[in-house]
Amino acid sequence: MNSAKHPDKIHKEVPCPFCCLLCDDLVIQNRAGILKVRENGCSRAIAHYEQVQPEIQPTIKGKVVTLKDAILHISNILKSSQHPLFSGLGTDVGGLRSTLQLADKTGAIVDHMHSTGLTRNMLVLQDLGWMMTTLTEIKNHADLIVFAGTDAVSGYPRFFERFIWNKNALFNKNTGGRKVFYIGENLDTRPGISPDGQQPVTVQCKHEDIGEFIAILHATLAGDKVNLENLSGKRLKELKLLAYHLTNARYGVLVWAPGEMDFPHAELTIQALCEMVKFINRSTRFGCLSLGGNDGGVSAVNVSTWQSGYPLRVNFNNGYPEYDPSRFSTDNVLKNNEADALVWISSFDTNTRPPKADIPVILLATPATEPDFTPDVFIPVCTPGVDHAGYLFRTDSVVSLPLKQVRVSGYPSVKHILDCVSGLI
C-alpha cells in the first residue's frame, strides 16, 4: 500500500456495510491506510474495519498471475460453460447489477449466500402479504416490541442501541418505557432490560413451536373458542399478558429473523406472525420487521427483482428468467450437478467460505479470505463502503444508503471484474 495515497483523515457519518442495519453514524480514522473505528462501531464493525489487508495477487489454480490473465481465464471458463452458477453475491448494488447482466449473458443461475432465510420471507410475501414497518418508524413510534425467535443483537449488534433505547425519538417521548417481549429459546435477553432496569418478558418456547403459540394467541385475540386446558398455568399467564399488551399497544412491532428460523417449513411460522399482525391492525397500529440480508442480501433481492421480475434463485439458461426458490438454491444446484462452473462473490466478510464443488470455481473475495480448497481462479477484491463508494439496501428494504470510500485500495471492485469479463464474452 502506498501511504502517500492515504492522507490522515477522520471520516464522519460513515455507513457501516458489515450488517444489514447499515448504521450510518460511524467515525472512522484513516492513518496511512490503517483504519480505526473512533466512534459508534460494534465489535463486528471494529473487527472488519481494523483488519489489516494482506497483500496478495490474483491466482489461477494457486499460481500467481496478472489481473488481466485472471480475467481472461474467467471469461474462458464462462464461455465454455453451459450452466454457470453465480452465488455468494456479497457485493453492493453496482456489483449486483453487473452480476445480473453477466448472468443474463451467460445463461447462469443466480443465488445469494443468505437466500435460505430470505426465501422463507419471500414465500410469505408472495402468498398472503404482510404489513411491514421500518427501522425509523420503530425508533420514533414503537411502544411495544416483540421478538420472535431472535434476540436481534446476536446478528445485528446495535439494534437496541439504535432503535429501542434511543434517547431521541420524534413521537415517543418515553423510549425507556418501551415494553419488550421475547418468544423463543437460547436468546440473549439482556439488551432487553430498559435503561431504568425494567426486565423484558420472555416466553420460553422452542423455535419450531413459536407458530403454534402465535396461532393460539391470534385465536385468543380474535375471540375464537380455544381449548386452553392443555396449557400450563405459566403458559396461560404469558398468553394473557401478551394478549393484553398487544391489544393495548399504540404502536407495536413484531420482529423476526428468517435466517434464525432454521427448521422445516419455517415460512408457515412467519406467516402466522404476519397474519396476527394484520389482525391486530383492526384495532391499533402494529407492524412487522424482518432482520436479515447481511452481505448485500437485501440489495440482491431488490436488484434481482427489478432486473428480472423475480427475487433470487433465478435461472437465465433458457434465455429468459425462470424462478424456482427450491430447485435453484445453491445447495440443490450443486447437489444435482446442474452447474458446470461456480462464480462465488464475497466482498464483505472474510469468514464466508465458497462451497466445495467438483466444477471450476471462480472466487471473487476479500484478500483475507482463506478458502479451504484451491479455486481455479481467485481474484482478491475490495470492499464496498470501505474501499469504494456504492449503495446498499437496509434490512427494512425501503432505504438504500450511499456508502462512502474511507480507504484507497489496490484491489479491484467486483463490478470492475465482472464488467471486464462481460466485455470479453
- Residues in contact with ligand SF4 by the rule CB under 6 A: 16, 18-19, 21-23, 41-42, 44-45, 156-158
Residue 24 or 69 with smaller CB distance to ligand SF4: 24
Identity at 361, one-letter amino acid code: V
**Sequence-ordered strand ranges (E) for 32-133:** 34-39, 59-60, 63-64, 84-90, 109-110
Shortest Cβ distance from residue 45 to ligand SF4 (Å)?
A: 4
Q: How far is the CB of 285 from ligand SF4 (least distance, A)?
A: 26
Alpha-carbon gap, residue 161 to 186, rounded angstroms = 21
57: left (phi over 0), alpha (psi -120 to 50) or beta: beta
CA distance 218 to 407: 51
Packing angle, helices 297-308 and 93-106, rounded to 10: 50
Q: Cβ 56 to ligand SF4, closest distance in Å?
A: 25
C-alpha cell at position 81: 460453460
CB-nearer residue toward ligand SF4: 375 or 385:
385
Residue bearing cell 464461455: 79
* Residue closer to ligand SF4, measured from CB, 130 or 256: 256
Q: What DSSP designation does 314 have?
A: E
Closer Cβ to ligand SF4, 104 or 260, answer by number: 260
* Cβ proximity to ligand SF4, 162 vs 218, nearer residue: 162
Nine cell digits for residue 68? 488481466
C-beta neighbour count of 322 within 10 angstroms: 16
How many angstroms separate the CA atoms of 140 and 191, rounded?
19
Sequence-ordered strand ranges (E) for 218-283: 251-256
Q: Among residues 292, 266, 280, which one has the least CA distance to residue 218?
A: 280
Cα separation, 222 vs 273, whole angstroms? 14
Minimum CB distance to ligand SF4, residue 391 (Å): 15
Question: Shortest approach of ligand SF4 to residue 98 CB, angstroms?
Answer: 24
d(CA 375, CA 61): 6
The least distance separating ligand SF4 from the CB of residue 158, rounded to whole angstroms, comes to 4
Kindly tell me which of 10 and 231 has the beta carbon lying closer to ligand SF4.
Answer: 10
Cβ distance to ligand SF4 smaller for residue 23 or 266? 23
Least CB distance to ligand SF4 at residue 385 (A)? 10
> CA–CA separation, 177 vs 194, rounded Å?
7
Burial class from Cβ neighbours inside 10 Å (0-12, 13-18, 19+) for residue 7 reads exposed
The residue (of 84 and 390) whose beta carbon lies closer to ligand SF4 is 390
- Planar angle of CA 306, 389, 375, nearest 5 degrees: 80
| Of residues 81 and 294, the one with the C-beta less far from ligand SF4 | 294
Q: What share of the chain is helix, strand, coil (3-state, %, to 5)?
A: 35, 20, 45
Taking the complex as a whole, the smallest distance from the CB of residue 290 to ligand SF4 amounts, in Å, to: 16
Q: Which is nearer to ligand SF4, 16 or 103 (CB)?
A: 16
Write down the least CB distance from residue 42 to ligand SF4, Å: 3
* Kind and range of the H or E run holding 364: strand 361-365
**Least distance (Å) from ligand SF4 to the CB of residue 267?**
25
Question: Is the CB of 305 or the CB of 405 nearer to ligand SF4?
Answer: 405
Using the structure block, give the residue that is written with the C-alpha cell 492513518.
31
Please answer whether residues 32 and 45 qualify as being in contact, where contact means their C-beta atoms are separated by less than 8 angstroms.
no
Contacts of 296 (CB under 8 A, 6+ apart): 89, 90, 91, 92, 95, 96, 112, 348, 384, 392
CB of 57 to ligand SF4, least distance (A): 29
